[in-house]
Structure 1
């Protein structure tokens, strides 16, 4: 679904492998210049294209981009917290926006779409893991409703200093007594026409 805003036509849609270059343009400065992510070198557009392709084929975790006038202004996705069966109902989320779009509602709209899909899939908890200091992302996650769980001191070394990492949690739904496995992304996306 598209809508009109002051900045022109905008929409949120599932990611495509062809978005890899635009995603790289957004992500690479965060990798090179900030402690927001503990990645030390940005993956190449080809590596991102493969990551997107693999995620779409697996059909377990959603990826979305925010488009403004046909350009990717931000993206958000979910991934596994850990590779153990008992973690199946939890996800880790990642969200990045072009700085020109910060504080313009891009992040909130991306998370709204991402969490709507995750809830309908049957996930219970979403975790955000933030490299610190990261006051803008900390404030964003807390305003969105995440609970700050803990900081792990000196968890990584980046940009010439030891960095803490903060863990945040958003409950997506009440934990069921006997949960069914999460449903595929494609199955729940076909049910929604809200976005």
Structure 2
């Protein structure tokens, strides 16, 4: 039986995450044309893990995918609206990894009182478009060859001053969501 986990990221995960991310660079699926240097990537993980959130999926202690949040490019000062990015190892596509990562991140965003998640997808990537639509994202806008999809979250608190950072989310709620998410992954 395979050991499966979906969890928060730490800087030690940088090398394995970069291996998953590198094949996406230089394509419309990633915002960068070249893979970042490892040290730069680790600094990025440190910066965003505690502010917005990064999650990792593992099977038998091997990274099979990860996701993270970024500021909303169209409204960067809006703390309640974020962009969701996800990267899955090619051999683990359609094996529940994306669903597991989205499930846990959605739970964390709602517990943290975020209101909206956006995803930017290449119009010529029917697999990614189908994934996001199956997760409940709705077409929102288009830019050049990019389809912007929107997911309206159900925040835990109606009008907080600011969202709760992911690492401050109640550990009991996080643990149960984490276990449920790991159960969604179907190992090879």
Question: What TM-score do the two structures reach when normalised by structure 2?
Answer: 0.86
| 1:6-85 equivalent positions in 2, closer than 5 A | 8-32=2-26, 34-56=27-49, 59-82=50-73, 84-85=76-77
Which residue of 88, 108, 112 corresponds with 1:97?
Answer: 88
- The Cα of 1:190 is off from its aligned counterpart by 2.3
* Count, aligned residues: 175
Alignment partners' CA distance in 1, 2:13 and 2:157: 36
- Aligned twin of 1:180: 161
1:112-156: CA deviation from partner (whole Å, max 9, x where unpaired):
001100100010000001233211111100011000112212xxx
Q: Residue 13 of structure 1: CA displacement?
A: 1.0
What 5-or-longer segments of structure 2 have no aligned partner?
A: 179-188
Alpha-carbon RMSD across the aligned residues, in angstroms, is: 1.9
Counterpart selection for 2:150 from 161, 169, 192: 169
Compare CA radii of gyration and give the structure with the larger one: 1
Higher strand share: 1
Deviation at 1:60, TM superposition (A): 2.2
Higher RCO structure (Cα 8 Å, ≥6 apart): 2
Q: Secondary structure at the match of 1:20?
A: helix
Q: 1:177, CA displacement in angstroms?
A: 6.8
Deviations 1:27-51 (A, max 9, x none): 111113x322242111122211111
The DSSP-based 3-state class of the residue aligned with 1:123 is coil
For 1:179 and 1:96, the matched residues in 2 are separated by 31
- The partner residue of 2:105 within 92, 98, 114 is 114
Call closer, same or farther: CA 1:189–1:134 in 2, change over 3 Å.
farther
- Give every structure 1 segment of 4 or more consecutive aligned residues whose post-TM-superposition deviation is greater than 6 Å: 174-177
| Pair 20,170 (structure 1): closer, same or farther in 2 beyond 3 Å | same
- C-alpha change, 1:105 and 1:171, in structure 2 (3 Å) is same
Q: SS of 1:130's equivalent?
A: strand
Segments of 5+ residues of structure 1 without an aligned counterpart are 154-163
Deviation at 1:16, TM superposition (A): 1.2
- Check the 8 A contact 2:110/2:156 in 1, yes or no: no
